[in-house]
Structure 1
Amino acid sequence: MKLGCIGDDFTGSSDLANVLAKEGMRVTQFTGVPRGPAPADIDAGVVALKSRTIPADEAVQLSLEALDWLRAQGCEQIFFKYCSTFDSTPEGNIGPVIDALLDRLGTETAIVCPAFPATGRSVYQGHLFVNDRLLSDSGMENHPLTPMTDADIRRVLARQTRRGVGHVPASTVFEGAEAIGDAVAAEAGAGRPLVVVDAIRDADLRQIGRAARDLSLVTGGSGVALGLPANHLGTDRAVPPSESWTGLSGPAALLAGSASRMTRAQIARWADGNPAREITADDVMQDRVTPDTAAAEALSCEGTMLLYSSADPETVKDAQDRYGREVVAGRLEAFFAATARKLVEGGVTRLVTAGGETSGAVVEGLDITTLRIGPEIAPGVPAVAAEGRELVLALKSGNFGDEDFFAKALATLEGRT
């Protein structure tokens, strides 16, 4: 294994694996830190953790365990993948994990670049944009767990790390890999070894990847991975995943736990003419709806049912104020995990989930350990297959995909375009 990757959630890890596979790498995604050796024929391994919103010390410990396993597999470079909207709190977990990984690797310098232009994420003058809006005005300021109210990635990261934070501007990035590498080295030499690098185009990401050839640690959104495979591969490339994907037919279900603007638009589109059932926080907290009853309703309906808990920000905040933010989040994740188990036990072979925390809870609840990467459904969202099981999934971050995503996902999972 040449490239070892650590993802802080399951949807983002699938996104990363998809990017690497499209660039020619043989990739396997692992759920949690594997206990045994990796397959001998893969170029990159992606260890998917559910560490984005857990306490920082726990996230550090999990990430170090993943790092140790990846290094034992012979990885020459480590990539730490976080969300392209830099989801975090003032305390972390991005900064503390980067610090810990650098310490364990015995090095100081790392690139920081959450840009992913294909999904509308760009970094310019150190600020993160979502399409034409600053991160802090994109809807992420209302995220129920990691509200992002500051678009300056340098300032956000500086609150989380004990290392200095530097910056390489777009004007330098446009000059190419050599100029980027020199600028990163200069920032590190000036005591700013965590270097935020601007990127607004895929071409920028490829140049950043070339510039990072000799770095032990690269960090960012999955977009930066565009430039990494060329550093590790020869002229041969793996078979693109879409050429070997056949999909599965059979019953399907949709689960949505994201309150993002796009997920709510996707829910509205699906519910206009298809079965849909809202599950409120009160329903779950007061046991008015249980995994048994929700799964039974979905399995017995005509067509594919969407079960969703994706309220507007004011409703989410009201529930958090009454029950506690962590309590509500934990109960909803447990609900969706248990519901997914009931659905699969009832014969569901195609499962689509929306929301990073929801997807992570579902994958853990289904005890999926290894995922095979299939074709891309939307930028940042591949179809995936649970290794050794008759089950295919789409694991979607909240803001990814267009309004017709659910229909497209079901078609792709079945092997239709």
Structure 2
Amino acid sequence: MTKLGVIADDFTGATDIASFMVNAGWKVVLFNGVPSGTFDAQDTDAIVIALKSRSIPVNEAVALSLSASAWLKDQGCQRQLFKYCSTFDSTAQGNIGPVTDALMKFLETSATLVCPAVPDNGRTIVHGHLFVKGELLNESGMQHHPVTPMKHASLKKLMEAQSVGLCGIINLDKVKNHPDELETEIEKQLANKARYFIFDVLDNQDLLTVAGATANFPLVTGAAGLGYAIATLDKKSTESGKQAMHIDACGAGVVLSGSCSAMTNQQVDFYQQRASSLALDVEKIIHDPAYLDIVSQWVISHAGEPLAPMVYATQPPQIIELIQKHYGAEFVSEKIETFFSSLAQSLARAGFNKFIVAGGETSGAVTQGLNIAGMVIGEPVAPGVPWTQVLNKQQWVILKSGNFGNQDFFQQAQEHYHE
């Protein structure tokens, strides 16, 4: 039986956790959306289903997630993990809380884990507060996120505002110094009506402790670090699960950046000093039907250069706010995503076979444009950001969540090509 079924709320999150589990020695299959038929998973440790449910209406996110959960249950997955971003991207309306509640009801469990910690990427939890590289979540740049601005760092406040139950917090002293008391502490807090358990996590050892303490939970929720911890605790996990991937240097590559995160802004600034780059004109995306062909031809004209050309919608928060005030946030986001989807499709027809993509929504759009049903997970360029090969195609895609990677990420990704 497959040990774990993962429901990811966007495509980059799906590749993120799949990569972490592969690095822990598991064999992982990733599907783009809920498969229509059954899957022979006898040699698979985990199945990951990538949804596009992070920022859609709550009822749609719940319905999609329940469909994925039912399919995973039918495939015999022993446990399930609802995977969201390590910056807990969600508003007071959801979607993390409502999806978690719906999955808990469907899987008939009264308790779950809330664990966005990924120490390898600087995501830690102290006194129930989420930190990003030492800064409180709401002071890390995420307070300016155009779709899910994070105004608090308290996971308890964030979760209880959008769900139907209470959070129980288990502090760092208990996790580090008294792991043998965690089972008793969980029982005590369950008696006090806690439904969602938040453990303090500073390092990977803490994460392993937390994963062990909640190993009997039918459903857990969290980020990629939790997937890694669960796979690492599995006695059969070995280094042999890692897959070397040959990324053919033949053909052309392109960088497509739609994320407006602080780190992606740095990555775009760094890369545009070294490679041909084109900033998208939102007005033209909205009003000029010929703009797609103009951008496609620009990319094609720069295909032979040492570094792949970059097309980006990444902008500083203040510029994004002005555009959104004029047209509306959802309208602008939808237009940009549709443009990236069509651009990827156009470039694939022109012979481009390597796509380096930044941003969860952008990644979802590109995978739709390329009609990707599933992928093989390969080597990481940064923790949680692997190169992937599209199933049955000589086509490679790397999908990066906004805040992941160092400033030279786009260039670093191209160093993995093989002659």
TM-score range, shorter chain: over 0.9
Q: Residue in 1 aligned with 2:40?
A: 39
Q: Residue in 2 aligned with 1:246?
A: 246
**Would you say 1:105 and 2:76 are equivalent positions?**
no
- Structure 1 residue 180 displacement after superposition: 2.9
Aligned residue runs from structure 1 range 277-316, under 5 A: 277-287=278-288, 290-301=291-302, 302-303=304-305, 304-316=308-320
RMSD of aligned Cα (Å): 1.5
Return closer, same or farther for 1:177/1:73 CA change in 2, 3 Å cut-off: farther
Contact 2:24 2:238 survives alignment (8 Å): no
Q: Residue in 2 aligned with 1:372?
A: 376
Contact 1:99 1:161 survives alignment (8 Å): yes
Given candidates 318, 321, 339, the residue that maps to 2:322 is 318
Per the alignment, in what secondary structure is the counterpart of residue 349 of structure 1?
strand
**Would you say 1:266 and 2:267 are equivalent positions?**
yes
Aligned residue runs from structure 1 range 172-191, under 5 A: 172-175=174-177, 177-191=179-193
- When normalised by structure 1's length, the TM-score is 0.96
Q: Residue in 2 aligned with 1:80?
A: 82
- The number of residues matched between the two structures is 413
Q: Residue in 2 aligned with 1:153?
A: 155
Letter in 2 for 1:144: P
Separation (CA, whole Å) in 2 of partners of 1:120 and 1:150? 18
Contact 2:23 2:239 survives alignment (8 Å): no
Q: Residue in 1 aligned with 2:171?
A: 169
Contact 1:188 1:194 survives alignment (8 Å): no
- Structure 1 residue 141 displacement after superposition: 0.4
Bigger drift between 73-82 and 34-43 goes to 34-43
Separation (CA, whole Å) in 2 of partners of 1:91 and 1:300? 45
Contact 2:24 2:241 survives alignment (8 Å): no
Query: Which digits, 9 at most, give the CA deviation of each residue in 1:20-53, with x for residues without a partner?
Result: 1111111011100011222332110000001000
Contact 2:208 2:233 survives alignment (8 Å): no
Given candidates 350, 360, 363, the residue that maps to 2:354 is 350
- Structure 1 residue 238 displacement after superposition: 4.4
Contact 2:170 2:197 survives alignment (8 Å): yes
Contact 2:20 2:383 survives alignment (8 Å): no
Letter in 2 for 1:213: A
**Would you say 1:396 and 2:400 are equivalent positions?**
yes
Separation (CA, whole Å) in 2 of partners of 1:363 and 1:178? 44
Per the alignment, in what secondary structure is the counterpart of residue 79 of structure 1?
strand
Per the alignment, in what secondary structure is the counterpart of residue 343 of structure 2?
helix
Per the alignment, in what secondary structure is the counterpart of residue 334 of structure 1?
helix
Per the alignment, in what secondary structure is the counterpart of residue 372 of structure 2?
coil
Q: Residue in 2 aligned with 1:255?
A: 256
Q: Residue in 1 aligned with 2:390?
A: 386
Return closer, same or farther for 1:207/1:91 CA change in 2, 3 Å cut-off: same
Q: Residue in 2 aligned with 1:30?
A: 31
Per the alignment, in what secondary structure is the counterpart of residue 385 of structure 1?
strand
Q: Name the % identity.
A: 37
- Structure 1 residue 281 displacement after superposition: 2.0
Q: Residue in 2 aligned with 1:410?
A: 414
Separation (CA, whole Å) in 2 of partners of 1:156 and 1:346? 45
Contact 1:2 1:232 survives alignment (8 Å): no
Bigger drift between 148-157 and 278-287 goes to 278-287
Separation (CA, whole Å) in 2 of partners of 1:177 and 1:78? 23
- Structure 1 residue 247 displacement after superposition: 1.2
Separation (CA, whole Å) in 1 of partners of 2:104 and 2:71? 16
- When normalised by structure 2's length, the TM-score is 0.96
Separation (CA, whole Å) in 2 of partners of 1:34 and 1:163? 32
Given candidates 69, 94, 97, the residue that maps to 2:96 is 94
Separation (CA, whole Å) in 1 of partners of 2:290 and 2:120? 38
Unaligned stretches of 5+ in structure 1? none
Separation (CA, whole Å) in 1 of partners of 2:418 and 2:105? 45
Q: Residue in 2 aligned with 1:51?
A: 53
Q: Residue in 2 aligned with 1:337?
A: 341
Contact 1:279 1:289 survives alignment (8 Å): no
Query: Which digits, 9 at most, give the CA deviation of each residue in 1:328-363, with x for residues without a partner?
Result: 000000000100111111101110000111001111
Return closer, same or farther for 1:61/1:293 CA change in 2, 3 Å cut-off: same
Per the alignment, in what secondary structure is the counterpart of residue 350 of structure 1?
strand
Query: Which digits, 9 at most, give the CA deviation of each residue in 1:166-193, with x for residues without a partner?
Result: 1111111113643333322322221011
